[in-house]
Amino acid sequence: MPAIFIRCVTPFPSDGFPSGFKFDANGNLINGIIIPLCKKLFSAKFELVILSGISMQETVFTHYNTKISALETELRSIKKVLSRLYLMRVVTFLAFVAMLVLYIRSDSNSLFTLLSLLFFAAFLLAVKLDLKYAFREKYTANQLLLNQNELRILDHQYADRETGVAYHPINPHLSADFDLFGMGSLFQYLNRSSTLGGKQKLAEGLCQSRQEESVINEKQQAISELVEKHDFVSDFQTHGMFITERGNEVESLKIWLGLPEEKSWLLPILCILVPVFNLFWITLVILGIFTVNSLSIPVIISLSIVGSHLKTINKDHNLLSKIAGTLKSYTTIIRLIEAEKFQSAYLKGLQGKLSGNGMKAGDSLTSLYRLLNSFDQRLNVLVSIVLNSILLYDIQIWLRLGKWKAQHRSKVPSWFEALSELDALISFSVYAFNNQGAITYPEVAEEFTFQATEMGHPLLHPATRVSNSFGFSGTPRILIITGANMAGKSTFLRTLSVNLILAMNGAPVCAKDFIFTPCDILSSIKIQDSLSNNESYFYAELVRIREIIDHVKTNPRTLVVLDEILRGTNTKDKQTGSLGLLEKLISLKAVVLVATHDLTLGELETNYPDIVTNNCFEVELTNDQLIFDYKLKKGISQKLNASYLMKKMGIIG
């Protein structure tokens, strides 16, 4: 049955109303807006639209709801199997014990011997199956949680997710000005990374402009391909949930790889001769040729050999201790990457880094984590003494680790780099999948160009998001945005900049159409004074402006984003200084987007008609209420609202 929409064909002057009202086939209003009331209040006109299919957003909701339903059914089935396996374990173990008792009481009846062995084998099988289904239960529960989380994020409920505030120092100004990290940030909304390296790579991408057109295009193709690989992305994320990182595992491994190898021709020989000698001595003791007390001789010799290298062994073990589990989890997702068939050049390149020179990262890391598991046996003092006394165990494992290091040390950094890069791309791909009806992959232009149609901020809920079209080309260019308080100036600056950041990462943007030129983004919005540095707000702002000018001098392909220039000084100084700064940036052939309450800046358009463009956000006073439509208009704002708001709040009379 087709979906029926009533679409408003005249713009609402009030923010917060959706542009379409959905009805069912019987004419019942689904989203609860009363059309006659809208007509009366806003003189709005409506037209009937019948859609033969469902919207993209509905498709995404359906996808996750279908997955959740299937996973809940599967989880219930697994729990039933686990209950039966628990009963099977109890029954087979008790039966095994009972057969042993009967065997003893029946003067060693062979039938009871056979039955006890069969029940013991059944018990071991039940234990093995229980471990298998316990993992499946955890895996399915993780998948279920992932899909439930995505449904919440679709409704823009993500306040409980990681904020990424630790990455703020990568680019403090950009981060603070455009809410890249912290509560309600772009990172918090986008991040789906499973590894610390992936989160770091994602954070760096948001903070550092990527300006090579070829790389942007390749990343777009990679993200677009990942959007279609639902099973791969889901498996990757689900296995990633098993990763528990303290934060230093990969770094410790890299430090260990950088340590020089200890070259000794004697140790490998001793590792063969000494165990043979020790086992021979033990045999002689068992045969009664040597006394038990004589065992102290080979023990002392073995422990002395191990002790002479203990300092170096301990140094390596301190770096590698307890990272085997993390490496095992890494290996699982690396094997997923190796097994997947990719089409895009960028993903193939990442995959190639994991299997260079016929050496697969998954296999190599598997051998490493097994070695590290063995190395951790030395943490058990009793086991360590016994094994070292007979086999020179620490030295045996240490030498095998040295061989692994020599063979793989040059490849390991590229393995983790590839894993981190793909992990970050998955974050963008999930964002792209979730917002299919509201995004587009941008087109890159050579000349400094920005053209966006129906551009909105990705962090705003689709129900309340107001989109705007905006564009410019060529340098120099000064784009002045004026408007009343709360009219949408600062939000527009963030909307444009955040979409540019996404575009330069190869990600889709929140717009219908989008053409851009890769560029640096420098901003001065949230300036902070500093008591510790004896730095006033005004001085801090001047320092930042100086940094921007110095950067533009050497990097002309820069977008400068300013919000209320020189707000730390008096009105006259502010006007004079602001005009001087913009003229300075014009002389440097810069592209500047500036939001301001200072309407005199709009007069620059008269002096520089081909360079300066005025746009504004207006506010309407209707029935003693301020109405914001958040729509960008041409020209200079003519309406103010500060005194009205102060009166409404009882601040002034």
Q: Does residue 518 register a pLDDT over 80? A: yes
pLDDT, mean of residues 8-28:
41
Convert 9-39 to b/e letters by CB count within 10 Å (16 or more is b): eeebbeeebeeebbbeeeeeeeeeeeeeebe
Identify the burial level of 577 via C-beta atoms within 10 angstroms of its C-beta, where 0-12 means exposed, 13-18 middle and 19 or more buried.
Answer: middle
The count of structural domains within the chain is 4
Classify residue 181: in a domain, yes or no.
no
| pTM summary value | 0.85
Same domain, 400 and 487: no
Residue 29 pLDDT more than 50?
no
Q: What pLDDT is attached to residue 355?
A: 84
> What average pLDDT does this structure show over 419-426?
97
CA distances from residue 535 to 174, 543, 548, 549, 652 in whole angstroms, order as listed: 20, 10, 18, 20, 33
183 within some domain:
no
Percent of the chain predicted with pLDDT > 70: 87
Query: 8-17, 48-57, 170-179: which range is least confident on average?
Result: 8-17
Please report which confidence band the pLDDT of residue 517 belongs to, taking 50, 70 and 90 as the band edges.
Answer: very high
pLDDT at 622 over 80: no
The reply to whether 513 and 610 lie within a common domain is yes
> Is residue 543 domain-shared with residue 636, that is, in the same domain?
yes
Residue 428 lies in a domain: no
Does 184 fall in a domain? Answer: no
CA distances from 104 to 113, 276, 367 (A): 9, 41, 45
What is the band of 264 on the pLDDT scale with cuts at 50, 70, 90? confident
Which H or E run contains 307?
helix 296-308
| Partners of 558 in the β-ladder | 520
Q: Which two tokens stand for residue 206?
A: 């948001």
Q: Does any domain span residue 143? A: yes
Q: Is the pLDDT of residue 7 over 90?
A: no
Verify that 386 and 467 share a domain, yes or no: no
Please give the pLDDT value at position 46.
44
pLDDT score for 343: 96
Provide the pLDDT confidence category of residue 651 given band limits of 50, 70 and 90: low
Average pLDDT value for residue range 48-67:
69
pLDDT at 515 over 50: yes
Both tokens of residue 582? 């913009």
Mean pLDDT of all residues in 603-613: 92
Do residues 130 and 254 share a domain?
Answer: no
Question: 545 with 638, same domain?
Answer: yes
- Position 642 scores a pLDDT of 57
Tokens of residue 168, six digits: 């703020």
Give me the helix-helix angle, 196-207 and 412-434, nearest 10°. Answer: 70
- 423, 451, 483: which is the final residue of a domain? 423
Judge whether residue 506 has pLDDT over 80: yes
Confidence bin at 565 (pLDDT 50/70/90):
confident
Question: Minimum mean pLDDT among 30-44, 335-349, 426-440: which range?
Answer: 30-44
Q: Determine the structural domain holding residue 384 and report its residue range.
A: 249-423
Predicted local distance difference test score (pLDDT) of residue 649: 55
Residue 550: pLDDT band (50, 70, 90) is very high
Query: How does pLDDT run across 144-164, given as a tens digit for each residue?
Result: 999 999 999 999 999 999 999
- CATH number of the domain bearing residue 600: 3.40.50.300
Helix, strand counts (H, E) of the chain? 23, 13
Contacts of 423 (CB under 8 A, 6+ apart): 193, 194, 195, 197, 198, 199, 201, 202, 236, 240
Per-residue confidence (pLDDT) for residue 526, from 0 to 100: 84
pLDDT above 90 (res 628): no
Residue 28 confidence (pLDDT) above 60: no
Percentage of the chain surpassing pLDDT 90?
67
pLDDT score of 553 more than 50: yes
Quick one: CA dihedral 255, 260, 264, 269, positive or negative? Answer: positive
Q: Is the pLDDT of residue 528 over 90?
A: no
Asked if 75 and 40 touch (Cβ cutoff 8 Å), the reply is no
| 109 inside domain | yes
More confident position, 142 or 39 = 142
Arithmetic mean of pLDDT, 234-247: 92
Q: Domain end: 87, 120, 154, which one? A: 154
In this structure, is residue 490 part of a structural domain?
Answer: yes
Nearest by Cα to 499 from 453, 462, 437, 430: 453
* Structure-token match 């090579």, residue found: 212
Q: Do 49 and 63 fall into the same domain?
A: no
Residue 332, pLDDT > 90, answer yes
Residue with more model confidence, 349 or 10:
349
Give me the chain's average pLDDT, please.
Answer: 86
- The verdict on 461 and 604 lying in the same domain is yes
In this predicted model, what pLDDT tens digit does every residue of 529-540 receive, in sequence order?
Answer: 554 454 677 888
Higher pLDDT, 3 or 385: 385
Average pLDDT over residues 570-587: 88
My answer on whether 307 and 411 are in the same domain is yes
What's the average model confidence in pLDDT over 431-454? 94
Q: What is the pLDDT of residue 44?
A: 45
Residues 45-66: what's their mean pLDDT? 65
Where a domain ends, among 130, 154, 178? 154
Evaluate if residue 469 carries a pLDDT over 90.
yes
Buried b (16+ CB within 10 A) or exposed e, 107-145: eeeeebeebbeebbebbeebeebbeebeebbebbebbbe
Rounded CA-CA distance 602/308 in Å is: 79
User: Could you check whether the bond before residue 169 is cis, i.e. omega within 30 degrees of 0?
Assistant: no
Q: Are residues 460 and 384 in the same domain?
A: no
CA 604/CA 341 separation, integer angstroms: 56
On whether both 556 and 505 belong to a single domain, the answer is yes
Task: State mean pLDDT over 606-632.
Answer: 85
The count of residues in the chain is: 653
User: β-strand 3-8 against 591-596: which pairing, if any?
Assistant: unpaired
Q: What is the pLDDT of residue 637?
A: 83
- What pLDDT is attached to residue 640? 64
Residue 587 has pLDDT above 50, yes or no: yes
Q: Are residues 387 and 513 in the same domain?
A: no
Answer yes or no: is pLDDT of 36 > 50: no
* Lowest mean pLDDT segment, chosen from 20-29, 217-226, 278-287, 619-628: 20-29
Residue 208 resides in a domain = no
Q: What is the pLDDT of residue 59?
A: 85
pLDDT in tens, 394-411: 999 999 999 999 999 889
Mean pLDDT in residue range 384-394 = 93
